[in-house]
Amino acid sequence: MVYLTRKAEFSASHYYHNPDFTPEENRRVFGKCNNPNGHGHNYTLEVTVKGEVDPRSGFVVDLKQLKEIMHREVLDAMDHRFLNKEVPDFLHRIPTTENIAIAAWQRLATKLDKAQLHRVRVYETPDLFVDFYGEA
């Protein structure tokens, strides 16, 4: 089994707000991130797949294909978007780094054929990242 990681970057804006909370609760729990006009980040998406090395190609997965799938499924939807308003995944989920990693996983998991998705890592800043392994 070999693990392979491909990286991509996208920029998006978001804010944190739960309509079930009172305005005070929203401010207390989410702080500055509650500003309804949103703010943005340069996100880094790292997708790790695992699989056996194909003896003919020497590849776990065709990197060009993986790159295309990441762009089609994740970046085309999220890059330069206001996540709360433009990405259906976040209509009823707050676009935290945790939920972005989960959404990226859900968008990618069924689209890979040869290799298996192992981990999705999303950096919000160099000092904060979330890993999702598909655990329930």
Partner 1 sequence: MKAHLTRRYLFSASHRLHSEEMSAEENQSTYGKCNNPFGHGHNYILGVTVSGPVDERTGMVCNLVDLDGFIGREVLARYDHENLNTLKEFAQTVPTTENLCTTIYEIVKRGFRHAHLERVRLEETMMNSFEYAGETETIQIT
Rounded-to-integer distance, Cα 92 and Cα 46, Å: 24
Selected binder of partner 1 within 62, 79, 89, 98 (CB under 8 A): 98
Rounded-to-integer distance, Cα 56 and Cα 66, Å: 18
Q: Which of residues 44-63 bind partner 1 (CB under 8 A)?
A: none
Q: Which of residues 63-92 bind partner 1 (CB under 8 A)?
A: none
Number of residues forming the site for partner 1 (CB under 8 A): 26
- Give the count of beta carbons closer than 10 Å to the beta carbon of residue 81: 19
Least distance between partner 1 and beta carbon 7 (Å): 16
> Which token pair is 49?
């797949």
Rounded-to-integer distance, Cα 35 and Cα 3, Å: 39
Q: Which residues bind partner 1 (CB under 8 A)?
A: 16, 18, 20-21, 29-31, 93-99, 101-102, 126-133, 135-136
